[in-house]
Structure 1
Amino acid sequence: MAFWTGYVSDEMMGTFAPIVIYWIYGGMYQLFPSSNRYRLHTLKEEEQKNLVRMPTVVKGVLLQQLVQATVARLLFSVSGSSRESDQLVQPSVPVQLLQIFMAMIVMDTWQYFVHRYMHHNKFLYRHVHSQHHRLVVPCAIGALYNHPLEGLLLDTFGGAISFLISGMTAQTAVFFFCFAVIKTVDDHCGLWHPGNIFHFFFQNNSAYHDIHHQLQGTKYNYSQPFFSVWDRVLGTYMPYKLVPRTDGGYETRPYKC
């Protein structure tokens, strides 16, 4: 039984908890920035290279989250799940972990191929996906800064398909979607903390995605948000090295094997 049981439905938690988590976790990075020794880009680079200002980023993210919340409410309604039925048929923890792992694979697969196609289709890149790449230097709050069409196709549909194929309940979906949001925000934070647990378990991390936002890496490292499998299998993986900067922090430098 989840801690929110009796206070709010699983469907409401699955809809709005990821949004709240996004702004809390992303806001921590934005409001309490780390020292330069952890940054992958200097503050000066961030100000000079990024082609969009923070108020515009915030408005874009809120628009995407509005669409996501609307689709989530519809999805939970159509799936026929309810708080009472979920409590009766909630699977064991090992089964839920297996469902989450399956959802991770499905989401990675969906996002890899849609993301890659948006880079290779000139029309879609110019008019849709390029909006996300206005953040040449990624930042935590900008993780979901996308064109509305991309947000719908890549993230919203990706999440819905992962939920449906994995067969998870609305209660399990709360944990999966919150985890996915935290991981996505972390991948865009632009920081390299030595003690970051995501760097220990996932090769797809903030440095990995930083390469993709660089000019020489836009045709590589499409995988998000969890694994790097599809990049490695299909030849779009670009390895990198972290080079300490003289003024503090690190620089991610791509190199060919």
Structure 2
Amino acid sequence: MGFAVSDEMLGTFVPIVVYWVYSGIYIIVGSLDNYRLHSRKEEDDKNLVSKTTVVKGVILQQVAQAVVAILLFTITGDSAGATADSSTSAVVLARKFITAMVVLDTWQYFMHRYMHINKFLYKHVHSQHHRLVVPYAFGALYNHPLEGLLLDTVGGAISFLLSGMSPRMSIFFFSFATIKTVDDHCGLWLPFNIFHVFFSNNAAYHDVHHQFYGSKYNFSQPFFVAWDRILGTHMPYTLVERKGGGLEARPTKEFKEN
């Protein structure tokens, strides 16, 4: 008799496993200096927090996310979710997936921007994430616990509820969102990265936000840049070759002149 793992458990823990596996791939690829947006020396010199502290912070957030996910699945219990997904049209599934993307983007844009506008929240909460001036993959979820709860955990719960997705569908959605978030923080511009084809919100776009000159711009995450464009917080950038090898994302000439 086999041991069956529920969709709810998979939806809770698969995204966590995906986070560390995908980050691990980027740790290996990070040795390719020609694709880095910052040199390894800059990563060591500019960042204000140790990698050990970052790992501990991410694990703490993931524990909190797992607890909330288990509670959410328990409350909304959907034992028929797998069957419903198998009999639902691809159009309906796509609509739910895109709805979840839009909801998560909207929640994170306004919460993220408010944490920059509110001086108290920035100083005591959001500045923890910005200790990573040079982002790297496994630091994607390095946040103050309150920010992790409000921005990521609550945002994920709202997107789950409003989209009407099942626990089984959530496995794929939150794994995809996790991969995209890690990718946006990887600090690499890889020529074969398919995300750069479909999303303007990418590693270079978010890297601009982590720099001093971009701290009031490029709040959008993790998928689209629509809210930045609509509300005037979009900072376009140009990729230029960095002295010593690699690339660098700089504000475009037109933006600086404005």
TM-score, normalization by structure 1: 0.95
- How far apart are residue 32 of structure 1 and its match? 4.4
Q: CA RMSD in A?
A: 1.3
Residues 30, 36 of structure 2: 8 Å contact kept: no
Residues 82, 166 of structure 2: 8 Å contact kept: no
- How far apart are residue 191 of structure 1 and its match? 0.2
Tell me what 1:53 maps to.
50
1:253 aligns with 2:250: yes
- How far apart are residue 31 of structure 1 and its match? 4.0
The within-5 A match list for 1:1-257 is: 7-82=4-79, 85-90=80-85, 91-255=88-252, 256=255
Q: Aligned equivalents of 1:14 and 1:27: distance in 2?
A: 21
Cα deviations by residue, 1:214-235 (Å, 9 ceiling, x for unpaired) = 0000000000000000000000
Q: Aligned equivalents of 1:45 and 1:33: distance in 2?
A: 13
Q: Which runs of 5+ in 1 are unaligned?
A: none
Q: Aligned equivalents of 1:36 and 1:200: distance in 2?
A: 22
Q: Aligned equivalents of 1:198 and 1:7: distance in 2?
A: 33
- How far apart are residue 6 of structure 1 and its match? 7.3
Secondary structure at 1:221's aligned position in 2? coil
Q: Aligned equivalents of 1:213 and 1:29: distance in 2?
A: 19
- How far apart are residue 7 of structure 1 and its match? 3.0
Q: Aligned equivalents of 2:10 and 2:90: distance in 1?
A: 19
The number of residues matched between the two structures is: 251
Secondary structure at 1:179's aligned position in 2? helix
**Greater than 4 Å deviation, 4+ residue runs:** none
Cα deviations by residue, 1:39-83 (Å, 9 ceiling, x for unpaired) = 00000000000000000000000000000000000111111212x
> In percent, how many aligned pairs have the same letter?
65
AA matched with 1:117? Y
Residues 103, 159 of structure 2: 8 Å contact kept: yes
AA matched with 1:67? A
AA matched with 1:159? G
